């Protein structure tokens, strides 16, 4: 399966989805006015990946900012990962936040309470 690589912009994050390594990464800023368009290929890629996932899928989310339009699309991404996890394949979501960013930590905890996938909260210390 082809990897999905998208370069980040001022309003959208870097995306690196690698099926061979079972690695899913979303990093940077996610603040587009309309996030549906941006996240559509990500959700579609995961749906396909879910047909034959690796035994372990490592997910790294490291966002500096994300808006409420993105928050729903990120939930859609996590729901696809939840389906993979339900299918007896291991999935871990590593939620990164900067040390003083309580809002970002809380956002991760919100997702953790909705999605049945193990989360690891990782503080980035500068």
Partner 1 sequence: MTFDVNEYYSELSGDNVLIAYKGNVSSELISNVLEAVETRMEDFSEDSKIRKKVYNVLVESLQNLYHHIEELPPEMQKDFDQKFGILVVSKVDGQYKISTGNFIEEANIPELKNKIDKINSMNKDELKDMYKFILNHQRLSDKGGGGLGLVDIARKTGNKLDYKFNRYNDEYSFFNLDVFINAQK
Binding site for partner 1 (CB under 8 A): 10-11, 31-36, 64-65, 67-69, 71-73, 75, 98, 100-103, 106, 110, 113-114
Closer to partner 1 by CB, 22 or 80: give it: 80
Q: How far is the CB of 10 from partner 1 (least distance, A)?
A: 6
52: Cβ–Cβ under 8 A, 6 or more apart, which residues?
1
How many residues would you count in the chain?
126
Give yes or no for a contact between 111 and 77, defined as CB atoms under 8 angstroms apart: no
Phi and psi angles of residue 19, each rounded to the nearest 5 degrees, phi first: -70, -35
Q: How far is the CB of 14 from partner 1 (least distance, A)?
A: 18
Strand 90-98 versus strand 119-124 pairing type:
parallel
CA distances from 18 to 1, 46, 54, 86, 115 (A): 8, 10, 10, 20, 22
Q: How far is the CB of 39 from partner 1 (least distance, A)?
A: 10
Q: How far is the CB of 29 from partner 1 (least distance, A)?
A: 9
Closer to partner 1 by CB, 90 or 101: give it: 101
Closer to partner 1 by CB, 3 or 67: give it: 67
Closer to partner 1 by CB, 34 or 56: give it: 34
């Amino acid at each position: 399966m082809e990897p999905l690589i998208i370069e980040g912009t001022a309003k959208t994050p870097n995306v690196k989805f690698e099926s061979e390594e079972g690695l899913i990464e979303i990093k940077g800023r996610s603040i587009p006015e309309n996030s549906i368009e941006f996240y559509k290929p990500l959700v579609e890629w995961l749906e396909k990946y879910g047909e034959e996932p690796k035994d372990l899928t490592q997910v790294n989310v490291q966002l500096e900012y994300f808006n409420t339009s993105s928050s729903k699309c990120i939930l859609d991404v996590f729901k696809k990962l939840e389906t993979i996890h339900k299918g007896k394949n291991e999935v871990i979501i590593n939620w990164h936040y900067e040390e003083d960013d309580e809002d970002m930590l809380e956002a991760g905890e919100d997702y953790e309470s909705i999605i049945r996938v193990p989360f690891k909260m990782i503080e980035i210390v500068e």
